[in-house]
Amino acid sequence: MKTYGIICEYNPFHNGHLRHIEETRKHGATHIVAVMSGNFVQRGDVAVIDKFARAKSAVRNGADLVIEMPVVYSLSSAESFARAGMALLAGLGCVDGISFGSECGDAEILRNAAAASLIASNSEKVKPLLEEGMPFPLAVRQIIEADKGPEIAGIFDSPNNTLAVEYLKAIKVLKLDMDVFTVKREGAMHDSDEVSGDTASGSLLRRMIEDEEDISAFVPKDTAELIELYRRSENLAYFDNLERPFLYRLRTCGINEIAETPDIGQGLENRIFEVGRLSNSLDEFLDRVDTKRYTLAKMRRILLNLTLGIKNTDLQIQPPYGRILAFNDRGAEILRKYRQSKKNKYTVPFEVAMKALHDIKTPAISRFVDITAKSTGVYGLSMRNITPSSLDFIVKIEKQT
């Protein structure tokens, strides 16, 4: 038994994801566990299809066990996202390696970039650059280029490379003993509007879905059928449908609440407080609050975190549990191995039923269960056909055949 982990979003699951899983199998993986973002994703958006359906689709297309990335981390920086995913994989106690895609395709170069990033992130050279208004990632990249040259610095110009570096940094910081396998990303690049054969980027696919275009050439049959089913039932999710909940939150929150939200700094809470009360639409708010230090994705994450009540202190908590969203026979074998494995400092309860987690009643678990349930309720408002708020406790998760 050789188990590999994949940290993912599958928004939606496409042919590139399918090839990644197939290459991981060829590398020797007999079992694959995916830590997948739930209903909200790292770019500061809603997942186009809900987490329960996406998890089942992942298992039907090659994953064996899907664990939910808690929303606290799926709406955080790449560093927190990667570290939480790695901690959950470590918590299983039986994961032999991590598999990820990268534009680079060279694990050694990525390791060098990760080592350079760890040094640059803690360098005294960062602060002056931040004071000039430079975003943190750009400041770190500039320091790396000065110290290590353009080849290593260039790694940070591609999004999958950047996430790959964060996975490798997490392995080092968490002191994990895991094999590293990277699949070179071929064809359509991240956020590209171009297609390459039967491959298209997730961003392009989401735009095609919104425009009701046919995506069947670029996704497994299962995904195409899911999209069509959700379109007919009006259960596709869209960020803009949350405009009124966002405006309500912006008009009723206090400055201190904003200041306690992740990614807030340099007095941004005052700007959000003022602009939030003057804006009559979501677009107006995002236009008015625009600042070169904060990307649109980060501003959208801030807005979602504020709406869901996620605080800076939540990110200081190690993932307190693993919520199982889907599994098959091999996934059940992973869970049996987890129960038999020697416990480590990252070991947490892994459960299918949210009620089982709710009943544990430790402060961290209770807090994360409450946030997850709230996030699912808010996510239900992002569809034209609004769904119940209690799906985390209602949806029955059964072994896939």
Residue 17 lies in a domain: yes
195-196 vs 40-41, strand pairing mode: unpaired
CA 142 centroid distance within chain: 26
Task: State the angle between helix axes of 159-173 and 107-121 in degrees (0 to 180), rounded to the nearest 10.
Answer: 70
**Residue 167, in any domain of the structure:** no
Instruction: Tell which of 92, 123, 157 closes a domain.
Output: 157
Q: CA end-to-end span of the chain, whole Å?
A: 20
Joined together, the tokens standing for residue 10 give 């599958």
Sign of CA dihedral 261, 168, 32, 47: positive
Pairing between strand 322-327 and 350-351?
parallel
Please give the pLDDT value at position 191: 56
Q: Using the 3D structure, point to which of 267, 290, 314 is the last residue of a domain.
A: 314
**pLDDT, position 122:** 84
One domain for residues 249 and 218: no
CATH code of the domain covering residue 59: 3.40.50.620
Token representation of residue 320: 């307190």
Q: Is 401 part of any domain?
A: no
Strand partners, 370: none
| Residue ranges with strand state E in 138-217 | 179-184, 195-196, 199-200
| CA angle, 160 then 164 then 166, to 5° | 120
Residues 18 and 153 in one domain: no
Beta carbons within 8 Å of 227's beta carbon, 6+ residues apart = 12, 48, 49, 209, 215, 219, 236
Residue 279 lies in a domain: yes
Lookup result for tokens 């494995």: 341
At residue 327, the pLDDT reads: 98
Establish if 135 belongs to a structural domain.
yes
* Dist. CA 248–CA 244, nearest whole Å: 6
The answer to whether residue 34 is domain-embedded is yes
Q: What are the start-end ranges of the E strands in 56-125?
A: 65-69, 97-102
Q: Scanning the structure block, which residue is given the tokens 């191995």?
A: 337
What secondary structure letter does DSSP report for 381? G
Q: Which amino acid is at 27?
A: H
Count of domains for the chain: 3
Spell out the residues 6+ positions from residue 98 whose beta carbon is closer than 8 angstroms to its own. 4, 5, 6, 7, 86, 89, 167, 171, 178, 179, 180, 181
Hey, is 219 helix, strand or coil?
coil
346 and 310 within one domain: no
Q: Do 88 and 216 belong to one domain?
A: yes
Q: Are residues 83 and 189 in the same domain?
A: yes
Q: Note if the bond before 128 is cis, omega within 30 degrees.
A: no
Asked if residue 252 and residue 114 are part of one domain, the reply reads no
User: Reduced to 3 states, what is the DSSP secondary structure of residue 151?
Assistant: helix
Q: Is residue 89 located within the same domain as residue 117?
A: no
Number of H helices and E strands in the chain, helices first, is 21, 11
Concatenated DSSP letters for 34-97?
Answer: EEEE-SEETTTEE-SS-HHHHHHHHHHTT-SEEEEEPHHHHTS-HHHHHHHHHHHHHHHS---E
User: Beta strands 31-37 and 65-69: pairing type?
Assistant: parallel
Q: What is the pLDDT of residue 189?
A: 54
Is the C-alpha dihedral spanning 294, 295, 296, 300 positive or negative? negative
Sequential pLDDT tens for the chain (401 residues): 999 999 999 999 999 999 999 999 999 999 999 999 999 999 999 999 999 999 999 999 999 999 999 999 999 999 999 999 999 999 999 999 999 999 999 999 999 999 999 998 888 888 888 778 787 888 888 899 888 888 888 898 988 999 999 999 999 999 999 999 999 987 655 555 777 788 899 999 999 999 999 999 999 999 999 999 999 999 999 999 999 999 999 999 999 999 999 999 888 999 999 999 999 999 999 999 877 778 889 999 999 999 999 999 999 999 999 999 999 999 999 999 999 988 889 999 999 999 999 999 899 999 999 999 999 999 999 999 999 999 999 999 999 98
Please tell me whether residues 60 and 97 are part of one structural domain.
yes
- Looking at the DSSP bridge assignments, the partners of residue 31 are 3
Q: Which of 94, 122, 157 is the last residue of a domain?
A: 157
Does residue 166 fall inside a structural domain?
Answer: no
Same domain for 10 and 79? yes
Residue type, 300: R
Residue 21 and residue 82 in one domain: yes
The per-residue pLDDT for 187 is 60
Statement to judge: residues 243 and 364 lie in one domain: no
Beta carbons of 141 and 119 less than 8 angstroms apart: no
Question: Is 400 a member of any domain?
Answer: no
Q: Is the domain of 380 the same as that of 328? A: yes
Q: What is the pTM of this model?
A: 0.94
Would you list the DSSP string of 168-180? Answer: HHHHHHTT---EE
| Enclosing domain of residue 308 | 239-314
Rounded to the nearest 5°, which phi and psi values hold at 35?
Answer: -95, 110
